Structure 1
Amino acid sequence: MLFDRKQLVRLIVPLVLEQVIMGTIGIADMLMVASVGETAISGISLIDSINMLFSSMFAALVTGGTIICTQYLGKRDEDMANLAAKHLLLVSLLFSLMIAALCFLFRKTVVYGLYGAAETEVLRQAMIYFYFSMASYPFLMMFDSGSAIFRSMGNAALPFTVSFLMSVINVVLNAVFIFELHWGVFGAGFATLLARVVSSAAIFILLYRYQGVIRLQLFLKSGWHGFMVKNILRLAVPTGLEDSIFHIGKLLVQGIVTSFGTTAIAANAVALTISEFTHMPGFAIGLSLITVVGRCAGAGDLEQARYYVKKITRLSFLVTGAVAALSWIFAGPVVGFYQMNHATWVLAVEIVRWQALACLFVWVPAFNISDALRAASDVKFTMAVSMISMWIFRVGCSFLFRSLLDVGVICVWFAMFLDWMFRAGVFTLRFRGTKWEGRMFL
């Protein structure tokens, strides 16, 4: 077997802990900002929707590079694995700088074009936060790329350590900037930027000093190879298109949320923060699937890949189900920490509980199995299914339900649950078949 129980534990546990800590920090950040007022929460939530779009694009590029690295490691070709790692870092840096520059040039067009219906103060707060977000994109990209390289080698502990450091810095600076200096949204954005600068520097220092198969010293002297960029992009572009269109759809849905007013925006923002926390353990396990299945695919052993997918997704069901159950039970007290008015609290609690029920049953097959398919290079199929599901269910049904159902902002969540159900069914059928096999092109 390519991975024994001990190796899987070393890979999965730090990933889950990292995501849980990040989710906890996200909730803590929102709690701190909540003290400034609902307009601050609403402004940040609008920009976070944009941030999630670009983060997904960054993640797609990182995923493409990670799959290439793990497949070469599965083939025991260390030189090519190092070459893939170098090109992942270079392409990631160039891409993130381009995105940051475009965001700066078209910042008003993006914010006012998407959220022009929001209140003036909400838009002002959003614009402040957007400046810091775009400045942090290159640092976030470098941290994600360096962490992915470590994970491709089966080492999730070092990225977890750096992520924990980043989270601590973020919380401490948030406390200082918001509570002591009273900088509000400006302080929250500045804290995030500084934390990402430190974390990206730390991951590169560790990558330089690390004595593993892939090391910074080993690929600094290698040249630029077009075929490697092509291989990375052949995996990254379909995944990037999938995730980008997915989040473009979410931005359109956010426009529907905005139309329901500030109370709906604030409740939706809090519910999104809590729901992301619910998904994070499953998301972490999905990252481990990319490493495990990619290594098996590189070694040409797809039977082991099937075995590990079944084993790891069972674990994901247990962990995700437990977190979803806890979020349903404690929805009221957790939402209460955000110091919102009663109407906003009631709406946020209702959304969180509906989300927990849907997450309990369909989130894992909708997202973890697609991670396994991507790791085996079956990226075009996952892209097609996700795009179709997004536009028909999440976007189309959101507009339809707004007209037909008198349930307010929760209609967009019902549309999202249909999206999850469709993905779960199609990806499960795909994995049970054999068409995803033989997609390797290395």
Structure 2
Amino acid sequence: MKSKQDLTVGNINKKLWAFAIPLMLGNVMQQFYNLVDTWVVGKYIGDNALAAVGSSYSLMTFLTSVILGLCLGSSAFFSITFGEKNIKRLKNGMFISFVMIGIFSLILTFASFYLCGRIMKILQVPYDIQGIMSEYLKWIFVGIFATFLYNYFSNLLRGIGNSVIPLVFLCISVILNIGLDLYFVLVLKQGIRGAAIATVISQYISGIGLMIYVYIRYPELRLKYEDTKFVKRTAYDIAILSGMTCLQQSVMNFGILMVQGIVNSFGTQIMAAFAVSVKIDTIAYMPVQDFGNAFSTFIAQNFGAGKYDRIKDGIKKALKSVVLFCIFISAIVFIFAKPLMMIFVNAESTEIINIGVQYLRIEGACYIGIGILFMLYGYYRAINKPSMSVVLTVISLGIRVVLAYVLSRVIGVVGIWWSIPIGWFIADAVGICFYLFKFDR
């Protein structure tokens, strides 16, 4: 097996960071798909188009989170079986998970087309941007299956310890997306539709390219007839891991979508500010989310290998890394909130900039809360207790949504901003207490 990182042996910090860094860079690069659209649209088309792309981002994050959750759950299965050195079961799991998630991705694509208009009404999208938002979304929906291909094969490779190759394919795709965005919008004058088409083309290139790479470079993972049987135990394990992780991811992003609906009720200026600031916010804490996913792979491989003392040692070292990183990135976002906003918004849009700065300084001061929460998600998923990740997500998002509705009526839009970190810290407290009472013995 051509694994880049066997996380069950060697120096924990070196192994974990060597695996995590490409994962971090890869997810940051993946965010550039929508960020490039935001930059091009905000700079060259206008505020209404910027608000439309921003609202679309929350919706697409929710939809793709469903697929990402399924793929992450499968990756936990791949890591556990890889730690057990059970390649036969790993390959059977590949077949079952690919068929299940692939079919679901197609169903999600058609359902998104059919329900597009109703979704915009639920999100309280202002009438003046519904047309351009619908045009943008219907093209973006075409890329849902490409999102499945990329995330499935990248999570397969990460599950067996290779986090570098998914990054390479993603970098190529993002560079292509930038070039196509500028070409379709500035040269062909395709407007917001051109930005969407550029994104979809780039997504398919990364997804199909990665699938071909796995087939060529990993002949030991090519499926034979005996690997394509429906094994009930394997299907059950994948269904539980993928289903619960999918539920956790979709609940998390559904809560964000509900918050987006509250934000939309405040008008186009608030929408545009939120659209930009939430992207900056997401990119800022994305590395620690990916460190949590790398940590999850580390835990899963060692869980499969039965190395429980190494797991406890890894938890302590990973926690120190997360705390230090979050303090650093919090300082950066808090200090440079205004310049970061001005990357995406023209200087004359002062109201949008000021609202975004307010959001970023509240969220940016609290990244340690989301950093620890991502570690807890990864840990419980890796030890085959994904239901606990769902519980923590429900707590975090439930509190966030309830407080957003209540506080926004009392202190205005700033109440929405404060509801988010409060939800993080309460979920952290529950997850840590459960670990201390149940597992730290």
The interval holding the TM-score normalised by the smaller chain is: over 0.9
Number of aligned residue pairs: 430
Alignment of 1:400-415 (within 5 A): 400-405=406-411, 408-415=412-419
User: Cα RMSD between the aligned structures?
Assistant: 2.0
Q: Does 1:371 align with 2:369?
A: no
Please give the alpha-carbon distance, in whole angstroms, between the structure 1 residues aligned to 2:257 and 2:120: 11
Give 1:10 shift: 3.0
Q: Which moved more, 1:236-245 or 1:365-374?
A: 236-245
Q: Aligned equivalents of 2:35 and 2:117: distance in 1?
A: 28
Preserved contact between residue 43 and residue 124 of structure 1 (Cα < 8 Å): no
Query: Contact conserved, 2:154 with 2:210, CA < 8 A, in 1?
Result: yes
Give the CA deviation at 1:299: 1.3
Q: Which moved more, 1:136-145 or 1:81-90?
A: 81-90
Change (3 A) 1:284 1:389: closer
For the 8 Å contact 1:83–1:219, the answer to whether it is kept is no
3-state DSSP of counterpart to 1:106: helix
Take 2:326 and 2:173, find their aligned partners in 1: how far apart are those partners? 24
- Residues 24 and 106 (structure 1), Cα distance of their counterparts in 2 relative to 1, 3 Å cut: closer
Instruction: Please point out which of 135, 140, 144 is paired with 2:142.
Output: 135
State the alpha-carbon separation in 2 of the partners of residues 355 and 421 from structure 1.
12
The residue number in structure 2 matching 1:440 is none
Task: Show the counterpart of 1:356.
Answer: 364
User: Does residue 327 in structure 1 map to residue 333 in structure 2?
Assistant: yes
1:287 and 1:273 mapped to 2: Cα distance? 20
- Offset at residue 182 of structure 1 (A): 2.2
Aligned residue for 1:72?
Answer: 81
Q: 1:226 to 1:274 in 2, by over 3 A?
A: same
User: Residues 408 and 415 of structure 2 are in contact (CA less than 8 Å); yes or no, is this contact kept in structure 1?
Assistant: yes
Separation (CA, whole Å) in 1 of partners of 2:332 and 2:189: 33
Shift of 1:218: 5.3
1:338 pairs with 2:344: yes
Give the structure 2 partner of residue 434 of structure 1. 438
The answer to whether structure 1 residue 258 and structure 2 residue 261 are counterparts is no
Matches within 5 A, 1:169-180: 169-180=176-187
Q: What is the Cα deviation at residue 54 of structure 1?
A: 1.5
CA distance in 2, matches of 1:409, 1:28: 27
Length-normalised TM-score, structure 1: 0.92
Report the AA paired with residue 93 of structure 2.
A
Residues 270 and 75 of structure 1: CA distance in aligned 2, closer, same or farther (over 3 Å): same
Counterparts of 1:191 and 1:121, CA distance in 2: 24
Counterpart code for 1:85:
M
Look up the match of 1:193.
200
Distance (Å, rounded) in 1 between the aligned partners of 2:191 and 2:93? 42
State the alpha-carbon separation in 1 of the partners of residues 327 and 132 from structure 2. Answer: 36
Q: Which runs of 5+ in 1 are unaligned?
A: 438-442
Alignment match of 1:55 (pick from 49, 64, 73) = 64
User: What secondary structure is seen at the aligned counterpart in 2 of 1:377?
Assistant: coil
Query: Is 2:92–2:227's contact at 8 Å kept on the other side of the alignment?
Result: no
Contact 1:10 1:157 in 2 (8 A): no
Contact preservation (8 Å) 1:253, 1:395: yes
Provide the C-alpha distance between the structure 2 equivalents of 1:219 and 1:430, rounded to a whole number of angstroms.
43
After superposing the two structures, state which structure 1 stretch, 218-227 or 188-197, moved more.
Answer: 218-227
Summarize the alignment of residues 129-168 of structure 1 with structure 2, pairs less than 5 Å apart: 129-168=136-175
1:21 and 1:167 in contact (8 A); partners too:
yes
**Cross-structure match for 1:421:** 425
Distance 1:304 1:158 in 2: 27
* Aligned residue number for residue 100 of structure 2: 91
User: Contact 1:389/1:422 (CA < 8 Å) preserved in 2?
Assistant: yes
2:51 corresponds to which of 42, 49, 63: 42
SS at match of 2:26: helix
Q: Counterpart of 2:268 in structure 1: which amino acid?
A: T
Report the Cα distance in structure 1 between the residues aligned to 2:36 and 2:152, rounded to whole angstroms.
26
Cα distance per residue 1:354-378 (max 9 Å; x no partner): 111011x312112222211111111
> What are the Cα deviations for residues 272-312 of structure 1, in whole angstroms up to 9, with x where unaligned?
11001111110111121121111111112222112212222
- Tell me the CA shift for residue 212 of structure 1: 7.1
- What is the rounded CA distance, in whole Å, between the counterparts of 2:279 and 2:356 in structure 1? 11
1:101-120 correspondence to structure 2 within 5 Å: 101-115=110-124, 118-120=125-127
Instruction: Give per-residue Cα distances to partners, 1:114-150, cap 9 Å, x unaligned.
Output: 22xx332311121112112211111101110100010
Aligned AA for 1:29?
A: D
1:365–1:427 contact (8 Å) kept in structure 2:
no
The verdict on how the C-alpha distance between 1:138 and 1:28 changes in structure 2, with shifts beyond 3 A counting, is: closer
On the 8 A contact 1:373/1:436 being kept in 2, the answer is no
Counterpart selection for 1:399 from 405, 409, 418? 405
Secondary structure at 1:3 match in 2: coil
Say if 1:82 and 1:219, in contact at 8 Å, map to a contact too.
no
User: Structure 1: which amino acid aligns with 2:23?
Assistant: L
Higher mean displacement: 118-127 or 222-231: 222-231
Partner Cα distance (1:195, 1:124) in 2: 24
Show CA shifts across 1:372-409 (max 9, x none): 11111111122123213322x1111111101221xx32
In the TM superposition, residue 210 of structure 1 has moved relative to its aligned partner by 1.8
**For 2:356 and 2:384, how far apart are their aligned partners in 1?**
39
Provide the residue aligned with 1:317 in structure 2. Answer: 323
Asked whether the 8 Å contact 1:365–1:428 carries over to 2, the reply is: no
Conservation of the 8 A alpha-carbon contact between 1:56 and 1:240: yes
Q: In 2, are the aligned partners of 1:61 and 1:240 still within 8 Å (CA)? A: yes
Q: What CA deviation, in whole Å up to 9, does each residue of 1:205-228 have, x standing for no partner?
A: 111012376x23557963333432
**Is the 1:92–1:142 contact (alpha carbons within 8 Å) kept by the matching residues of 2?**
no
Q: Which amino acid aligns with 2:112?
A: C
Asked if the contact 1:71/1:298 (under 8 Å) is kept, the reply is yes
Scaled by the length of structure 2, what TM-score is found?
0.92
Aligned-partner Cα distance in 2 for 1:299–1:173: 46
Residue 382, structure 1, aligned to residue 386, structure 2: no
Separation in 1 of the partners of 2:326 and 2:171? 21
8 Å Cα contact 1:86-1:219 kept in structure 2? no
Instruction: Specify whether residues 287 and 297 from structure 1 end up closer, same or farther in structure 2 by C-alpha distance, changes over 3 A only.
Output: same
